[in-house]
Amino acid sequence: MPEKFPSPAGWTPPGAEFRSSGGASRTVTGMLAGLILTPVGIALAARGAAGTRQWTILGDFADRVGSTFEILAAAVVFLLVAALAAYSPAGTIIAGLVWGVLPGIIHVIFPDDTFRLIGDLPVSDDMHVALFQWLQTGFPLIVGILLVGAGAAATFRRR
């Protein structure tokens, strides 16, 4: 179908010389955002999950509101990282690989080493237990695969 109003030869829209695709800057920004937000979501999810364990131990004396809020906040952070795929699919894929798939696979292959590595992190003892339990249940692998899938879906959607 021919253009209804063809442009004159050599004509460019006003401001075209200042436009760029911004591919590299979008990728770097997306990767940094994904690599920073994903561990925040992991920490919130791990602490929230550890807090829910206290519900059965302490009953009504447990902090149900705090741990529920942490789990919901983690879900929102993971949603932001998945939605980041619309801006930069590479950022979501890299975050899913670095913070989810690779730690999950490494834990499956070397469970004792991951326990030692988590123990060496400069966090509280409660957080050590929460992170190890979260890793042990396989959630990093699940979240990582979901983030990689969100990034791949955004990549295929663009084509």
Query: Would you place residue 27 in the very low, low, confident or very high pLDDT band (cuts 50, 70, 90)?
Result: confident
Q: What is the pLDDT of residue 12?
A: 74
Which stretch of 81-85, 98-102, 112-116 has the lowest confidence by average pLDDT?
112-116
pTM for the whole thing? 0.77
Residue 95 and residue 62: Cα distance in Å, rounded?
A: 33
Q: What is the pLDDT of residue 49?
A: 85
Residue with tokens 């741990």: 67
pLDDT of 105 strictly over 90 = yes
Query: Would you place residue 21 in the very low, low, confident or very high pLDDT band (cuts 50, 70, 90)?
Result: low
For 90, other C-beta atoms within 10 Å of its C-beta total 19
Reduced DSSP (H G I as helix, E B as strand, rest coil) percent helix, strand, coil of the chain, to 5: 80, 0, 20
pLDDT mean across residues, the chain: 85
pLDDT of 159 strictly over 70 = no
Say whether 3 sits in a helix, a strand or coil.
coil
Average pLDDT (117-129) is: 87
For 78, other C-beta atoms within 10 Å of its C-beta total 24
For residue 3, give the amino acid letter.
E
| CA 76 to each of CA 15, 71, 73, 83, 135: distance values in angstroms, whole numbers, following the listed order | 38, 9, 5, 10, 20
pLDDT tens readout for residues 30-89: 899 999 999 999 999 988 888 877 776 766 666 678 888 999 999 999 999 999 999 889
Share of the chain above pLDDT 90, in %: 40
Query: Would you place residue 111 in the very low, low, confident or very high pLDDT band (cuts 50, 70, 90)?
Result: confident
DSSP single-letter state for residue 50: H
pLDDT of 153 strictly over 80 = yes
